[in-house]
Structure 1
C-alpha cells in the first residue's frame, strides 16, 4: 500500500474494512483514530517495518506469567513477581508477557471489566511500569470480547452510551451452524435490556460477550487503549483471540478479510506511535490459518507457533520425530521483519486444533488418553453437532513424566529435552513461568475453580518457592539452573538468531535435527536431539559436517576429534555442534 501521509494510509485501511461507508464518515473516523493515538494527521507515512530485518536477536527470550503467579502475604503480587524477575531472571529473559492484569470477572483475567485500570489486588500502573523499565513488556489486548459485568455491557442493557451499540445481537432462529468455536457452551445468551430480551453473541462463554467491530466506534475506543498501554511502557501487544473478531453470518466467522485489515490498521497505528512496538497474534487454529497472520509482512510481527506444543508432546511420547520433521519442512521462512513466537507451555492448555491435518485422529486420541492417564484433563468443543477434544490441560512437567512405553526415570531429561529442542528452532522462545519452575499439576486449584485450565495455573508462595530453589535436589532448582545455562549458551550463537536459516535434517525417526546458519553465514550450527529413551548413535557423515572445519559441542564445551565418525546421544540428550 503506497501513500504520502499517515492520514491517507489509515483512511485506506478503513475503506477496506467499511467499504460501503461514505467518504466523509471515513475521514471523520480517521481523524478520531489519529487523535486517540496522539498522532498528527499530516505526518509522513512510514513503511510497515519490513525494512528492518532484525528487531530481535538470539539473546531474546520471553517469560509468560500471571501477575499473581508468585505471592507473599501482605505484599502486592506484582511486587513479589518483580522481585523474582530481578533476582532469578535478570539477564536470563529479555521480555515478560504479563497476562491480563485488569479487573475481571472470570477466565483468570480474560473476561475484562475495565481495559484502562490495573486490578487492585495485583498492584497499580506504577508496578506495571517498574517491570516495563527492566524488561520488554508484553500485554494482552483482549479485543474480541469483554465481561458481561463491564460498564460497556451494562450500558448496552440500559440503552446508553458508551456501549449501547457495542455488541452483536442475533435471532436464535438464524442458522449459525457454520460458526467455528473453541467452546461447547451456547453461542447466544439471552439478556434483558430496556428494549426487551436480546440474544448476544458469546464465542467463549456467557461471561465473555463479543464486541461488534462493524461499529467503528470500537476501533476508536481500542486506539485509546493501545495509546494508554504505550504510555505505560507496553511494547508488545498480544492480540488475544483475534481470529474471531469479525462476524459474518453464513460464514465460519474466522479470519475474515476485515479481521486481517484491522490487524494491518493496528500495525500502522502502533508503528507511527512507537516504532519499537510489536504485534503478536494469538490464533489457536490449524497451521496454515495461523500463518496467514503474517500477511505480506504487514500484519503480525510474530505469530504464536501453536502446532509446536502438541507435536513435541507427540514426539516425546512416541519416541518418533517424523511428524515434527514433516511439519517443520512445510513451514515457510517468515517474511522479513517477522518471526515465530515459539512456546511449548502457556497459561492455556495444549491445543489440538493446530495439529489437524498433521496428526491422525488415532495419534491425537492416543495423546489424549495419555494425558488423562497422567492426571490431566481434556477440554472439548462442539463441531457439527458432536463434542470433540479441543485442549489438553496438564502441567508440562507432569505431562512429560512418562512416554507410551510407560513410567520411567526420564521425566526431567525429557522435560529439558523439549525445551532444548524449542531453543534450537527458528523464532523467539517463550517460557511459561511454571515450566521454568517445574511446577506439577495443581489439583487443589482445579477443585476450587472447576476450570480445567486451573490445573496449570498454580500460585507459588514466594517463601515456599525460595525454599525449593535453595534445595539443590529439588526439580525447581535443577530445572531453573538448566534453563539458565541453556539460555546463556543460546544468546551467544548468531546461528540461533530468530531469522537465521533453518533446514530440517533427515536422521531417522529417533533423532531430530536442524541445521541453522547465521544471517552473515559466520556460524553453522547443527542441533541434534535424541527423542527416545534409548541411546542413539548418529553418523557425523549423515549430518554432513565439513571435515575441514573444527567443531565444538556447545552444551558440554567438548571439541570433536578431527577423525570422529559418530556421536552418541544418551536418552533425550541434545547436542549443538558449532563451527569454530
Structure 2
C-alpha cells in the first residue's frame, strides 16, 4: 500500500512553511525519475534471514559471495534477506559508516550484493543517525571546508546539562575532535566513533534522502532505518522518540514508496501489538521489531514450561496481530530484555540471566533512577540453550514458536550456523555484543545446513512455510489464542483466519501423548504422540486450503 499524498504537514512542523516548501520541491525532483515499488503480493509464507557479510569465511570468495553460496543450499526457504552493513566503516561492526556507498573489500562488490537479491527481497541498513569521523562529510567539516551553518552535525558545549537525554550506551553524549581551528565538541549519542547528524537542518534530510534513492537505484528492495528513535536532538528533552522523529519517518516513507522500495523497516518496538512506527494508513514504516518475542520464547524454552508464552498470549494475544512485526529469538545485538517494561516476570529474567552467565555470556545492565535493570543478554543462542546438551532441538523448537506468532519470523544467520560464543572477538573489539557475531568457514557452514544444526532450523522453517501457504490461519495478521490446557510442558496455541483455524502443539523436552480436541480430529485420531521438542499443527474440521500459488 502506497500513500499518495506528500506529507507536507510533517515538513512544515519540522522546518516552518518557507524551508518546508523548498525541501519538498527538492525531494519531489529527487524521486521524479524513480518508479514506485510494489509491496510483496504473497507475503504470508515469508521468512526472513538476518546476516552479516562476514559470517562466512572462504579464501577464494568475498563475504557476500560466500553467503550467496550458502543460501543456494537452503532450498529457498528464506524469502527476505536483511544484510547487515557491508560498507566501509569506522567501527561498530559496520554501523559507523565511513562511506555510504564504498563496500568493504572483504564484503565484496555491488555485483555481489545485487546477486543476493536474485531470488529474494534484499534489505540493507540506512544508517540515518550518524557517520564516522572518517566519513567525507566529517573530514570536510573538521578541515574547515564547510561553513558553520552548513555543517551536518551539532556543535555542543561539553559542560552543558545532558541529564534529560535517554542514553543508549555508557559513552558520554559529547565527543571532542581535532579540527583546523582547534578542538571542537559534537553530539555523539553512541560514542566517539559516530558523529550524530542534525536533522534540524533540511539539507541533512535531503542528503540522506539522496542516499536512500541511490540504494533503491542500485537494486536494494528494502531498508531498515537504524537508530530511528534518536534522529531529533534537543538537550532539554529525552531526544528519543520525539514527535519530530515521526514527521521524519513519514517523509522517508513517501520517498521510499516512490523509489522502488517494497519494505521500510523501523528499528523500533512493537509492544503488545502496538507501535507508533507502523500505522494502518501506510504513512510510516512497513514493519517493526517485536523485541518482546525473544525473552518470552527463550524463557519458555529454558524452563521447559509453556507458562511464559501462554501468559503473554493470554494477556496480549487479542492484539498481537494488529501491527506488522518481526519475531525472533535474538538479533546481532543479542537479546534485548525491554527493561522498562519487561514481557516476562522478574523470576523469568533471572532464569535468562543465570543461563547466560552459566554458559559464557554477559548480562548488560543499566542504572535508571538508582535501580539496576537487566538490559541485554550477549550470548550466542546455541550456547544459551545448550546447557543440557539439547541446544539444537531447543533452537529448532524456538524457530517453530516464532513462526507460529502473528507477524513475520526472522532467523539470525548465527542461529542457522550454530555459531558459538566468540570470546576472542569480544577481547579484540572490547564489545560484549561481539560474542554473538562470530564467523565460521563456508565449508563448515555448508555441512551444518546439509546435515547439522542448520538442517534442523531449515526443516522447521520448511514445515511452517508449507502449512502457512495452505491455510490463512497463519497469515501475519491472523489472531492467536491460547489453546486447550494440555499441561505445563506442552505449548498449545490457536491461529484463526477467515477460512481456517489451526491448533499448534509443541512438547517441551519430553515425549508426551496428548488428547486432541474433537474439532481438530479430521482423521479420527483421539490422541497424538509428540517426541521431545516435537511439534504438530492440527487443522479444524472444515478449514479450507488456499489455492496453490
Q: TM-score, normalised by structure 2?
A: 0.89
Corresponding residue for residue 280 of structure 1: 265
User: Matched residues in 2 for 1:27 and 1:318: separation?
Assistant: 57
Match status 1:24 vs 2:31? no
Conserved 8 A contact 2:19-2:202 = no
SS at match of 2:117: helix
SS at match of 2:213: helix
Change in CA separation of 1:194 and 1:383 when aligned onto 2, cut-off 3 Å: farther
Conserved 8 A contact 1:111-1:146 = yes
Match status 1:410 vs 2:413? no
Match status 1:529 vs 2:534? no
Q: How many residues align?
A: 536
Corresponding residue for residue 238 of structure 1: 224
Conserved 8 A contact 1:512-1:530 = yes
Change in CA separation of 1:363 and 1:515 when aligned onto 2, cut-off 3 Å: closer
User: Matched residues in 1 for 2:103 and 2:524: separation?
Assistant: 54
Summarize the alignment of residues 391-430 of structure 1 with structure 2, pairs less than 5 Å apart: 391-402=376-387, 408-430=388-410
SS at match of 2:152: coil
Conserved 8 A contact 1:506-1:513 = yes
Give the Å deviation of 1:538: 4.3
Conserved 8 A contact 1:202-1:208 = yes
Summarize the alignment of residues 107-186 of structure 1 with structure 2, pairs less than 5 Å apart: 107-161=92-146, 164-186=150-172
Conserved 8 A contact 1:152-1:162 = no
User: Which one of the candidate residues 20, 23, 43 is aligned to 1:57?
Assistant: 43
Conserved 8 A contact 1:421-1:574 = no
User: Which one of the candidate residues 395, 413, 429 is aligned to 1:449?
Assistant: 429
Conserved 8 A contact 2:86-2:104 = yes
Corresponding residue for residue 292 of structure 1: 276
Corresponding residue for residue 11 of structure 1: 8
Change in CA separation of 1:12 and 1:482 when aligned onto 2, cut-off 3 Å: closer
Give deviations 1:403-430, integer Å, cap 9, x for gaps: xxxxx34322211111111111111111
Match status 1:84 vs 2:70? yes
RMSD: 3.0
Give the Å deviation of 1:469: 4.9
Conserved 8 A contact 1:439-1:476 = no
Corresponding residue for residue 545 of structure 2: none
Corresponding residue for residue 316 of structure 1: 301
Change in CA separation of 1:362 and 1:216 when aligned onto 2, cut-off 3 Å: same
Give the Å deviation of 1:286: 8.2
Conserved 8 A contact 2:385-2:395 = yes
Summarize the alignment of residues 331-342 of structure 1 with structure 2, pairs less than 5 Å apart: 333=319, 339-342=324-327
Q: Which moved more, 1:203-212 or 1:361-370?
A: 361-370
User: Matched residues in 2 for 1:147 and 1:300: separation?
Assistant: 26
Give deviations 1:14-34, integer Å, cap 9, x for gaps: 01222xx2x332211111122
User: Matched residues in 2 for 1:91 and 1:370: separation?
Assistant: 34
User: Matched residues in 2 for 1:469 and 1:359: separation?
Assistant: 33
Give the Å deviation of 1:465: 2.7
User: Matched residues in 2 for 1:159 and 1:435: separation?
Assistant: 47
Corresponding residue for residue 547 of structure 2: none
User: Which one of the candidate residues 186, 194, 197 is aligned to 1:208?
Assistant: 194
Change in CA separation of 1:194 and 1:409 when aligned onto 2, cut-off 3 Å: closer
Give deviations 1:35-65, integer Å, cap 9, x for gaps: 223359xx9xx9x99xx8x854232111111
Give deviations 1:83-102, integer Å, cap 9, x for gaps: 2212x124211111111111
Give deviations 1:459-489, integer Å, cap 9, x for gaps: 221123334456x4x4344444454444444
Show structure 1 runs of 5+ residues with no match.
403-407, 552-558
Give deviations 1:341-397, integer Å, cap 9, x for gaps: 112122111011267243344432442122010111223445346764321111111
Match status 1:496 vs 2:474? yes
Change in CA separation of 1:196 and 1:190 when aligned onto 2, cut-off 3 Å: same
